[in-house]
Amino acid sequence: MALPSDLKAAAPIARRVGVRRVVYRRGIAVPVKNSLLNRWLYGRTMHRLVVNSLETKRCVLAANPRLIPEERIRLVYNGFDVQKFDQLAATPLIPQNGSEICIGNAARLTAQKGQRHLLRAARCLLDQGIQFRLLLAGTGEDEAFLKNEARHLGISQVTEFLGFVPDIKRFYASLDIFALPSLWEGFGYALVEAMAMNLPVAAFDISSNPEVVQHGTTGLLTPAGDVSALADSLARLARDADLRQSMGQAGRRHVMERFDTRQVFQQFLEALE
C-alpha cells in the first residue's frame, strides 16, 4: 500500500480477516494528524512502515513521536533505474552556444518548487557578467507569473520556458548545472536524475535534499529562500569547470551506490521482514 487512502481502506479489512503483516509505504513528507484513527492504524494495524526519506519519517512522527514504535519503521529510498535511464537517447535538446553555461530546472511551475528564487538568482549572475542561459522545463499555475517576473527582472534574453519536456534525459544533456530551488520535497527525484547525468546540482537545504545531495561533494546546498546564497553557488559552479566535473562524477557514483533500483529493491525486501 502506498497511499493514505489505501491504508485507511485496506488495513481494517486486513486486520479483520487475520492478515498478520500490513506494510505501508509512505512517500510524502506531510505531517500525519494525531487523530484517534491514525493512532489505531499506525499503532495497532501496521506491521511495518516504510518511508522514502528521513524527512518523511520526521513528518510522520511530528505530531506524535509515539505514533508508531521506531523499531517498526524502515528507511528505503526511492529507486532509480540507472541502467534503463542510460539506454535513453542523450542528444541535447538545446544545443549549447559557445562558452555559455547552461543552468536548468525541471519541475512543476509552482510556488513550492521555488522557480521565482532561481529567476532572482539569475539576475545576480547577469549582474556579475557571467555568460549563461537558464532553461526551465515544466508547466504549472505559476507559469504566467514567472514569465512576467523574468521580464520584470530583465532576464528574458537569457531565460527560456520550455513547457512540458517528454524527453527529460535530453533536457539534462543540454545542461552544465542543475538547480532545484524547491522549498520542500518528499524526495527530489529530479536531483537523482540530474546526478545520474553527471551534473553538479545547486539546491536549498530543505526536507530530504541533504539526503540526496552531499554538500560540497555532489553539489551545493544553501539556506531555503536565500537568493544571494543560491546565486553564489551557481556562480561558483559556473566559473569552475573542474568543480563541475568532479561534483558531477561524484553525484553519479552516489546515485549508483544509494538509489539504483537494484540496491533499493533488496533493501525493500529486507524491510518487509
Report pLDDT digits (tens) over 53-89: 999 999 999 999 999 999 999 999 999 999 999 999 9
Other beta carbons within 10 angstroms of residue 254's beta carbon come to 19
Name the one residue in this structure whose C-alpha cell is 530551488: 181
Condensed to tens digits (0 to 9), the pLDDT of residues 254-271 reads 999 999 999 899 999 999
CATH at residue 108: 3.40.50.2000
Rounded-to-integer distance, Cα 204 and Cα 224, Å: 5
Same domain as 51, residue 113:
no
Does residue 95 sit in the same domain as residue 47?
no
- Please report the pLDDT score of residue 15 as a whole number: 80
In the chain, the percentage of residues whose pLDDT exceeds 70 is 99
Q: What percent of the chain has pLDDT over 90?
A: 81
Measured between alpha carbons, how far is 213 from 230 in angstroms, rounded to an integer? Answer: 15
pTM of the predicted protein model: 0.90
Provide the number of structural domains found in the chain: 2
Q: What value does the mean pLDDT take over residues 179-200?
A: 93
What is the full DSSP assignment across 185-224? -S--HHHHHHHHTT--EEEES-TTHHHHS-BTTTEEEE-T
pLDDT confidence tier of residue 2, bands split at 50, 70 and 90:
low
Beta-strand runs (E) in the chain: 23-26, 48-51, 73-75, 101-106, 132-137, 159-163, 177-180, 201-204, 219-222
pLDDT score at 36: 95
Mean pLDDT of 191-209: 96
Same domain, 70 and 103: no
Shared domain check, 98 and 216: yes
